Amino acid sequence: MTNEAKPVLIIGAGVAGGIVAEVLSKSQNSDFKPVGFVDDDVKIQGQILHGLPVLGTREHIFTLVNRHDIKEIIIAIPSASGQVVSEIVEICHKSKARLKILPGFYDLITGRIKTKSIRDIEVDDLLGRDPVSLDVEQIAGYLTNQEVLVTGAGGSIGSELSRQVAKFSPEKLILLGRGENSIYEIELELRENFPNLELKSEIGDVKDQARMKQIFGKYRPKVVFHAAAHKHVPFMERCPGEAMKNNIMGTKNIAESAYRSGTSIFVLISTDKAVNPTSFMGATKRVAEMVIQSMNIRGGTRFVAVRFGNVLGSRGSVIPLFKRQIARGGPLTITHPDMVRYFMTTVEAAQLVIQTGAQARGGEIFILDMGQPVKILDLAKKLIKLSGFDPETEIPIRFTGIRPGEKLVERLEGDGEGIIPTRHKRIFAVPESSQDFSLLEDVLNTMESENFLFLEHQVITLLQKVLPGFKNNLT
């Protein structure tokens, strides 16, 4: 322990708190000096546990911080709900001590807790949902010893899908992406963590039909996760033709290549913005869903889609933006005080997407249970507090107005879609239905014609053929 070690208060005097106390006390290079515990169990108040005194309950935190000159508070309750963590954060925020949190149960069980594992608390610690439970046997049944391909493998969802797939020992994992730097990074990480995994990386654009045929002909993957897409709503409002090329034509190219190469299961990553879409991004993703549903009719390959909302911390999401704005001293910009969104972590999303593949019969649109929608204003205030500041007084919040294509509230199911439960409590499905895809075929043929230039008015007109009412105000 160094002479400059910071006095630390540990919240939770149970098994996890005891391990933290032991690790901090025995470490020669620790930056922390444990002073005692806070625990709400009145029966253990004043006792010495794990070599440290139980100094009080959570109501005493502010007093204890001042009395013992506490610099760091470590939350060591891996089983605590997001609501409990939020309450503790609110209490601790009144003091000047910095908050940190212990890793989850997995690290506790495997004994991987080290001082460097104790990290700053993040917004996703406050979501308040139970960990995702997976049917490991079911998943292993379709991934283990199979060739698996992930498109957009360098992106937030694609890279996490690749990490999760790698755990199930596929015969081969093919990373496909357009950006060489992001593919290089995920390849490097996977080679370090899974040295026995046969890993192949390919650079290619899903819009390039010839390149997709070449890659699929080379590897003939049995399972495909299609995560490559343009997802930024404001950008796609300015570049609707690019949204159409990437999200619709790219999906068509990948789906047809998968079908021809004998893929067994194809999972399209979709979005809640595809429901009653008001943006080009949402509309093109809804048509992408229709593309894979039409492909499913051919038989052979089981084509499905998975819809979910916003992913905390993903590229372009609101959390990294807020963090940058806080680092600059504010203001935090929010489009509307009543804006709400569904959120989940990248790990949650990837695990549930993989689980849907195990349930795929073909033609379904799966919907992930995202929990309760979160008010963006509340999210912003929590992040400001976690950063050690007061909302409004130290970091101002400014409302900028709803951007083109945005909704105040997103939905996960469309009008008239019948949602049914699946074998997994957090996965629902819109079952396959008989649809006439002749209009979709006409739209796809038009997009491939030489006369179609992907101009905004052309894009709107074409989308309206399969999505009546879309962008009525612009026609």
pLDDT per position as a tens digit, 390-407: 887 888 999 988 877 777
pLDDT of residue 134 exceeding 80, the answer is no
Inter-residue contact 307 to 272 (CB < 8 Å)? yes
Structure tokens at 273: 């913005």
Q: What is the mean pLDDT of residues 77-101?
A: 81
The confidence band for 104, taking pLDDT boundaries of 50, 70 and 90, is: low
**Quick one: tokens of 68?**
């013992």
Q: What is the pLDDT of residue 315?
A: 63
Lowest mean pLDDT among 38-52, 143-157, 415-429: 415-429
Is residue 187 pLDDT above 90, yes or no? Answer: yes
Does the pLDDT value for residue 335 go beyond 80?
yes
Rg (CA), the chain: 25
What's the mean pLDDT in 38-47? Answer: 93
> When comparing pLDDT for 111 and 349, which is higher?
349
Which tops the pLDDT comparison, 444 or 92? 444
**Which one of 145-149, 336-340, 369-373 scores highest in mean pLDDT?**
145-149
What per-residue confidence (pLDDT) applies to 107? 43
Q: pLDDT band at 101, cuts 50/70/90? A: confident
Q: Is the pLDDT of residue 117 over 90?
A: no
6-121: CATH topology is Rossmann fold (3.40.50)
- The better pLDDT of the pair 410, 456 is held by 456
The Cα–Cα gap between 125 and 134 comes to 20
Cβ atoms of 317 and 310 within 8 Å: the answer is yes
Higher pLDDT, 458 or 95: 458
pTM: 0.77
Length of the chain: 475
Listed in order, strand segments (DSSP E) in 102-194 are: 119-120, 147-151, 172-177
Confidence band (pLDDT; 50, 70, 90) for 378?
Answer: confident
Give the type of residue at 422: T
Q: Write down the pLDDT at residue 321.
A: 85
Answer whether residue 284 shows pLDDT above 50.
yes
CA distance 439 to 417: 20
Q: Taking 80 as the threshold, does the pLDDT of residue 151 lie above it?
A: yes
Q: Is the pLDDT of residue 72 over 90?
A: no
**CA 9/CA 124 separation, integer angstroms:** 22
User: pLDDT (tens digit, 9 = 90+) per residue, 443-462?
Assistant: 999 999 999 999 999 999 99
Active-site amino acid positions? 273
pLDDT level of residue 150 (50, 70, 90 thresholds): very high
pLDDT attached to residue 391? 85
Tell me the per-residue pLDDT of 191-209, one tens digit each, with 9 for 90 and over.
Answer: 999 999 999 999 999 999 9
Which pLDDT belongs to residue 131?
A: 55
- What architecture (CATH level 2) is domain 136-430? 3-Layer(aba) Sandwich (3.40)
Which pLDDT belongs to residue 64?
94
Which of 423, 298, 416, 414 has the alpha carbon at shortest distance from 360? 423
**Mean confidence (pLDDT) of the chain:** 86
Residue 110: per-residue pLDDT: 38
pLDDT tens digits, one per residue of 249-267: 999 999 999 999 999 999 9
The residue ranges of every structural domain in the chain are 6-121, 136-430
Mean pLDDT of 366-393: 81
